[in-house]
Chain A
Amino acid sequence: MGVRGKETLVASTGTAETTRRDFLYIATGAMGAVGAAAMVWPFISQLQPDASVLAMSSTEVDLGQIQEGQIVTVKWRGKPVFVWNRTAKDIEEARAVQLGQLLDPVARNANLPADAPATDANRAAKDQEKWLVVIGICTHLGCVPIGHMGEYDGWFCPCHGSEYDSAGRVRRGPAPENLAIPPYHFVSDTKISIG
């Protein structure tokens, strides 16, 4: 009770200058804010992909079972990935396209620099041009396009009519970008590892 009486005296002086008490208020408040923020972080962090999700971040595909002309869909990180064993005609068509004709002139290939041009060579697998590996998600709003469909012999998206050519490049909107190419590498001549 003695303390309370003293506080009353301090308070009733009504001075505008900074007091020890002001300093203690701010220091205590700041410490409390730091503690609260430290406590909030785990509750935000827990929403991130957990260790079991991250552990499934690579997928292997056996190319030996994919016939010429066939598109196989595999799941990588919960997303569809198209692996296409292209015919000579498909490759020919893709090569014939000039960069100026493309809606998106960038390769969108995670294995190449970000500014690589969207030539067929930059889109197809390195040194094995018949293989095209793309994430099967339309760059418009996330639907899965249908293979061997549309005017450009690639994919046609059933949701909003975007069309992709035989190198997975967008040729008709509303999709803004080429189908993305995931990071992958050849484990052997007939096997790739995505991720």
Chain B
Amino acid sequence: MSGHATFEPKNPALKWFESRLPLVGLIHSSFVAYPTPRNLNYWWTFGGILSLMLACQIVSGVVLVMHYTPHVTLAFDSVEHIMRDVSYGWLIRYIHSNGASMFFIAVYIHMFRGLYYGSYKAPREVLWILGCIIYLLMMATAFMGYVLPWGQMSFWGATVITNLFSAFPVVGPTIVEWLWGGFAVDNPTLNRFFSLHYLLPFMIAGVVVLHIWALHVVGQNNPTGVDPKTPKDTVAFTPYATIKDSLGMVVFLIFFAWFLFYIPNYLGHADNYIPANPLVTPAHIVPEWYYLPFYAMLRAIPSKLGGVLTMFSAIIVLFFVPWLDTSKVRSGVYRPLFKQFFWIWVAVCIGLGWLGSKPAEGGYIVAGRILTFWYFAHFLIILPLLGLFEKPKAVPASITEAVLGKKGSAPASVGAQAPQTKG
């Protein structure tokens, strides 16, 4: 974070510019000289992967808008026009639709990583909350984007989700008409969703800047949860993190490409290739996979308002995790009980997702109720109590000690001060 001092341009033109706007110095201190813990594992590459996915979605989205028409009579055909007529339109649309799923896969891994290693704990509460805001914005953006092709799932997804607000007493129906701009989902709804779908990604980008800023103020967490204490505990962002992130991105893009080129419609619904019909609802309507756990909660609660509130609470509770977890030990690595409960909770989330894709009947509803209860109990009961009763394992004195053992500090000093003569 003292990177500014280390960047001294030799080029006179750059020197002139730098003394007026220290842009290159900012980039240098943030992405070159920035010290990162030396023990970051591959779970830490998902921040970079998410930045890549945001850029990918914005670029492909801007291009799609060049060929898309936001009108109820033309939207569906314009999407087919993109698929059939536009040069490489099929590729760009599949990048965008599968990219949304990849974005959520990456964000869920990123969130699970933060929860496992205690990345939300002091002093990273604001960093965590900004991340939760990004997640909320992502969900809103993805929902509105799914409406734009104006197929059957678009239309009925929009109808169901906007109708969630009708659960609120007294003002509910008024809010819903206000959201629709009419008495049903129709052209005004499509137009405003299109406008907001274009706006929100740039708001996400803005919050991402705050997220990275907050990250660079408090520094990255690491698998031990122990803050870097000496220069030995860190390595320069470039080349170490840059190359590691790049490899993570390449592997992730291979995974993405597999969906893109081999199973581009696997994560979608065939019904969305039927033009929207306001008079007929498809027989089996489910949201996109990334909403399924919340959808399961909505259906588990036998009350309209209760279901809606439960669903929203499931996200709101994440904002309070920094204060619900009372343990002094940051990383789950040194918390034997927490570790087990964490994986149970991951299984609960996946189980809720699976239940969300099943019809709302019989045993599925009972299971949904149990898992919904466990989801909240994890945050509201288990996390606060674990901090009081759990006996954590011994935490290493430093990152270097965790990596090399107590005897290994001598060779480590060579590694940490490695001159970057190559690359």
Indicate if the CB atoms of B404 and A10 lie closer than 8 Å. Answer: no
CB-defined interface of B405-423 with A at 8 Å, one 1/0 digit per residue? Answer: 0000001001100111111
Q: A11-B421, A11-B422, A46-B92 are in contact. Are A4 and B415 (CB under 8 A)?
A: yes
A42 to B87, CA, bound (A): 7
Answer whether residue B401 sits at the interface, using C-beta atoms and an 8 A cutoff: no
CB within 8 Å of A: which B71-93 residues:
81, 84-89, 91-92
Determine, out of A48-56, A84-92, A154-162, the stretch whose residues face the partner at the interface.
A48-56
Residues of chain A contacted by B86 (CB below 8 angstroms):
46, 50-51
Indicate if the CB atoms of A43 and B421 lie closer than 8 Å. Answer: no
7 extra A-B contacts, CB within 8 A, seeds A42-B87, A50-B89: A4-B418, A5-B411, A5-B415, A12-B418, A25-B423, A46-B92, A50-B85
Nearest Cβ on chain B to A177's Cβ, whole angstroms: 30
Question: 6 closest A-B pairs (Cβ-Cβ)?
Answer: A42-B88, A51-B85, A52-B85, A50-B85, A45-B87, A8-B418
Answer whether residue A7 sits at the interface, using C-beta atoms and an 8 A cutoff: yes
Indicate if the CB atoms of B63 and A43 lie closer than 8 Å. Answer: yes
Answer whether residue B13 sits at the interface, using C-beta atoms and an 8 A cutoff: no
Residues of chain B contacted by A37 (CB below 8 angstroms):
none
Answer whether residue B394 sits at the interface, using C-beta atoms and an 8 A cutoff: no
A46 to B82, CA, bound (A): 9
Residues of chain A contacted by B89 (CB below 8 angstroms):
46, 50
A-B contact pairs, 18 of them (CB 8 A): A4-B415, A5-B411, A5-B414, A7-B418, A7-B422, A12-B418, A12-B421, A14-B421, A25-B423, A42-B87, A42-B88, A42-B91, A42-B92, A45-B87, A46-B67, A48-B87, A50-B67, A51-B87
Nearest Cβ on chain B to A31's Cβ, whole angstroms: 10
Answer whether residue B370 sits at the interface, using C-beta atoms and an 8 A cutoff: no
A98 to B88, CA, bound (A): 51
Interface size on A, residues (CB 8 A): 22
Closest chain A residue to B412 by CB distance?
A1
**Overall SS of chain A's interface:** helix
Nearest Cβ on chain A to B48's Cβ, whole angstroms: 15
Residues of chain B contacted by A48 (CB below 8 angstroms):
87
Q: A14-B421, A21-B422 are in contact. Are A46 and B87 (CB under 8 A)?
A: yes
CB-defined interface of A149-186 with B at 8 Å, one 1/0 digit per residue? Answer: 00000000000000000000000000000000000000
CB-defined interface of A91-129 with B at 8 Å, one 1/0 digit per residue? Answer: 000000000000000000000000000000000000000
Q: A42-B91, A45-B87, A46-B87 are in contact. Are A8 and B415 (CB under 8 A)?
A: yes
CB-defined interface of B77-119 with A at 8 Å, one 1/0 digit per residue? Answer: 0000100111111011000000000000000000000000000
Interface size on B, residues (CB 8 A): 25
A39 to B339, CA, bound (A): 41
Q: A1-B403, A1-B415, A8-B414 are in contact. Are A46 and B88 (CB under 8 A)?
A: yes
Closest chain A residue to B56 by CB distance?
A39
Residues of chain A contacted by B91 (CB below 8 angstroms):
42
Answer whether residue B66 sits at the interface, using C-beta atoms and an 8 A cutoff: yes
Residues of chain A contacted by B84 (CB below 8 angstroms):
51
Residues of chain B contacted by A7 (CB below 8 angstroms):
418, 422
Residues of chain A contacted by B388 (CB below 8 angstroms):
none
A47 to B62, CA, bound (A): 12
Q: Among B81, B87, B411, find the residue whose CB has the most chain A CB atoms closer than 10 A.
A: B87
Indicate if the CB atoms of A45 and B88 lie closer than 8 Å. Answer: yes
Residues of chain A contacted by B419 (CB below 8 angstroms):
11-12
Answer whether residue B27 sits at the interface, using C-beta atoms and an 8 A cutoff: no
Answer whether residue B381 sits at the interface, using C-beta atoms and an 8 A cutoff: no
Residues of chain A contacted by B423 (CB below 8 angstroms):
25
Answer whether residue B251 sits at the interface, using C-beta atoms and an 8 A cutoff: no
Residues of chain B contacted by A50 (CB below 8 angstroms):
67, 81, 85-87, 89
Nearest Cβ on chain A to B99's Cβ, whole angstroms: 13
Answer whether residue B59 sits at the interface, using C-beta atoms and an 8 A cutoff: yes
Indicate if the CB atoms of B414 and A43 lie closer than 8 Å. Answer: no
A43 to B61, CA, bound (A): 11
Nearest Cβ on chain A to B113's Cβ, whole angstroms: 21
Nearest Cβ on chain A to B293's Cβ, whole angstroms: 33
Residues of chain B contacted by A53 (CB below 8 angstroms):
85
Q: A5-B414, A5-B415, A7-B418 are in contact. Are A43 and B87 (CB under 8 A)?
A: no
For B404, give its contact among A1, A14, A21 (CB under 8 Å): A1
Closest chain B residue to A45 by CB distance?
B87
A50 to B66, CA, bound (A): 12
Nearest Cβ on chain B to A78's Cβ, whole angstroms: 16
Closest chain A residue to B64 by CB distance?
A46
A4 to B414, CA, bound (A): 10
A188 to B374, CA, bound (A): 80
Residues of chain B contacted by A11 (CB below 8 angstroms):
418-422
Residues of chain B contacted by A8 (CB below 8 angstroms):
414-415, 418
Closest chain A residue to B411 by CB distance?
A5
